Structure 1
Amino acid sequence: MDIGFKCCCDIQYFNNLNKVTNTEQEILSILKTVYERCKAERDNNCLLVPLQDYHERVSNYTAYPKTFIYTMLEENQYQEEALDIYDHILFMECINFMYSQNNLLTFNRLYEECVKFQSILSENYKLKHISDLTIFIKKLHEWGYVHRKLTNGSVILMENPKTKFARFNYLNKIRDYRAKGRQIYYLDERQILKDAIKKYKYNSDENIQVHDGFLYFHILTRNGYENGLFTCQDPDMTFSDIFKKWMIDIVLYSIKPMSVIVMENNVLHGLLPNKSITRYHTKNQMLQWLRENNIPCNISMPKPILYDLIEKCTFNNINYEIDCVFKSCGHDILRLPNTFTSLTPTTYFWNYLCKNFKIPEDSTAETVKHLLSLKIKDIDTTAWPSFIAEVVQMENDIYEIDALAENLLEEYELDSRTLYE
Structure 2
Amino acid sequence: MADYDENTVIDKKIKPILHTILSNCKVEAENKCLQVPLNEFEERVAFYTGLPKAMLNQVFFSNATKNNEQSIRHRIVILKALLKFYKNEHRPNFKDLYNYLCMSKLKITTFKNIDDFRYALISMGFDYRKTNKGSMIVEDAEITFERYNYIKNYKKLRNAKIRMAYVEERYITKHFTFNKPDFDNDCPYIVDNEKCLAEGFYFYHVLSDAGLENYIITNKICVATYQKFVVDVLFRHLKKGCAVVIDNHPIHGKLIDQTITRYHTKADMLNWLRMANIPYSDSMCKAELYELISRCKKPSSGYELDRLLNAHGHEVLRLPSGCDELSPSVLLWNQVKEDMKGMKIDDTQLENAIISAVTKAHKHSWKPLNKITYETENTLLSLYASTEEALDKFVQFDV
Say yes or no: TM over 0.5. yes
Q: In the TM superposition, what whole-angstrom CA distance separates every residue of 1:234-286 from its partner, at most 9, and x where no partner exists? A: xxxx62221122122211222233110111022111223x43428xxx53158
1:135 correspondence with 2:116: yes
Alpha-carbon distance in 2 for matches of 1:262, 1:218: 12
1:300 correspondence with 2:287: yes
Partner of 1:170: 150
1:149 to 88, 112, 130: 130
Partner of 1:103: 90
Alpha-carbon distance in 1 for matches of 2:178, 2:342: 9
1:373 to 351, 355, 367: 355
Partner of 1:357: 340
Displacement of 1:164: 1.1
Displacement of 1:151: 1.7
Check 1:405–1:242 CA distance in 2 against 1; reply closer, same or farther (3 A cut). Answer: same
Alpha-carbon distance in 1 for matches of 2:269, 2:72: 40
Partner of 1:327: 310
Partner of 1:405: 387
Check 1:93–1:130 CA distance in 2 against 1; reply closer, same or farther (3 A cut). Answer: farther
Partner of 2:139: 159
Displacement of 1:224: 2.3
Alpha-carbon distance in 2 for matches of 1:275, 1:206: 21
1:132-281 to 2 correspondence within 5 Å?
Answer: 132-152=113-133, 154-195=134-175, 196-202=177-183, 205=186, 207-211=188-192, 212-213=196-197, 214-233=201-220, 239-272=222-255, 274-277=256-259
2:263 to 284, 289, 314: 284
Contact 1:206 1:267 in 2 (8 A): no
Alpha-carbon distance in 1 for matches of 2:290, 2:346: 61
Alpha-carbon distance in 2 for matches of 1:294, 1:303: 10
**SS where residue 342 of structure 1 aligns?**
helix
Partner of 1:313: 299
1:391 to 346, 359, 373: 373
Identity score, percent: 20
Partner of 2:102: 115
Aligned letter for 2:309?
F
Check 1:140–1:285 CA distance in 2 against 1; reply closer, same or farther (3 A cut). Answer: farther
Alpha-carbon distance in 1 for matches of 2:145, 2:265: 28
Bigger CA drift: 284-293 or 103-112? Answer: 284-293
Alpha-carbon distance in 1 for matches of 2:125, 2:67: 20
Alpha-carbon distance in 1 for matches of 2:381, 2:292: 38
Check 1:298–1:193 CA distance in 2 against 1; reply closer, same or farther (3 A cut). Answer: farther
Alpha-carbon distance in 2 for matches of 1:194, 1:215: 12
What TM-score, normalized to structure 2? 0.71
Displacement of 1:305: 4.6
Where does the alignment leave 5 or more consecutive residues of structure 1 unmatched? 1-73
What TM-score, normalized to structure 1? 0.68
Q: In the TM superposition, what whole-angstrom CA distance separates every residue of 1:304-348 from its partner, at most 9, and x where no partner exists? A: 654445x3433xx2x111211221222101001112123211222
Greater Rg by CA: 1
Q: In the TM superposition, what whole-angstrom CA distance separates every residue of 1:162-202 from its partner, at most 9, and x where no partner exists? A: 22111111010011111111111112211113423222345
Alpha-carbon distance in 2 for matches of 1:197, 1:327: 29
Aligned letter for 2:141?
P
Q: In the TM superposition, what whole-angstrom CA distance separates every residue of 1:24-62 from its partner, at most 9, and x where no partner exists? A: xxxxxxxxxxxxxxxxxxxxxxxxxxxxxxxxxxxxxxx
Bigger CA drift: 353-362 or 373-382? Answer: 353-362
Alpha-carbon distance in 2 for matches of 1:147, 1:210: 39
Alpha-carbon distance in 1 for matches of 2:354, 2:332: 13
Q: In the TM superposition, what whole-angstrom CA distance separates every residue of 1:382-418 from its partner, at most 9, and x where no partner exists? A: 311112111111111111111111111012232424x
Where does the alignment leave 5 or more consecutive residues of structure 2 unmatched? 1-61, 275-281
Aligned letter for 2:380?
I
Alpha-carbon distance in 1 for matches of 2:187, 2:316: 20
Alpha-carbon distance in 2 for matches of 1:103, 1:155: 11
Displacement of 1:149: 2.0
Alpha-carbon distance in 2 for matches of 1:249, 1:340: 29
Alpha-carbon distance in 1 for matches of 2:388, 2:185: 32
Contact 1:149 1:155 in 2 (8 A): yes
Contact 1:223 1:384 in 2 (8 A): no
RMSD: 2.9
Bigger CA drift: 131-140 or 200-209? Answer: 200-209
**SS where residue 363 of structure 2 aligns?**
coil
Alpha-carbon distance in 2 for matches of 1:95, 1:194: 42
